[in-house]
Amino acid sequence: SGQKVCYGDFKRSCYKIAYFQDLSRRVGFQEARQACEIDGGALLSLESEAEQQLIENMLQNLTKSGSGISDGDFWIGLWRSSDGQATSSACPDLYQWADGSTSPFRNWYTDEPSCGSEACVVMYHQPTANPGLGGPYLYQWNDDRCNMKH
């Protein structure tokens, strides 16, 4: 399940946000990717600051609507294949969009990506967390282990 929001002025006409307060319903990266593909879509590729802002506004509107959205990061379609050298300084350049988009746009949180065993990317949504070095954990990107449940 999820909330589908449609806009006509971006390359993609519809965005679907699936958020589960019930932690047992959250899924890993590959499961999220497959669920999107079954619905005829793909995990989100954010291709510009304007699109990033659109998604942030959608999440803020969901939060304001009293839907009960609390802490919980969202998978986006950015990932690093296991072929890449995770320890090299080139690691940030090894991330690619799952839908084949070639957009260079990135919105990493301070000190991210940390690479290593973290190869899949989430958009932070932790409104109750104390801010870190990069400010609140809201809407910036973080690489995480692909088997984590979001």
Asked whether residue 150 is assigned to any structural domain, the reply reads no
Q: What's the rounded Cα separation, in Å, for the pair 74 and 121?
A: 9
Its domain, for residue 117, covers 4-144
The CA distance from 44 to 3, in Å, is 14
Regarding predicted confidence, which is higher, 25 or 31?
31
Scored b (16 or more CB within 10 A) or e, 59-75 reads beebeeeeeebeebbbb
What integer pLDDT is reported at residue 67 of this predicted model?
A: 59
CA distance 9 to 101: 18
Residue 149 domain-assigned? no
Kind and range of the H or E element at 54? helix 49-64
Q: Decide if 97 is inside a domain.
A: yes
AA identity, residue 52:
Q
Q: What is the pLDDT of residue 115?
A: 87
Would you say residue 82 lies in a domain? yes
Number of domains in the chain: 1
Query: Domain containing 51 — which CATH number?
Result: 3.10.100.10
pTM of the model: 0.87
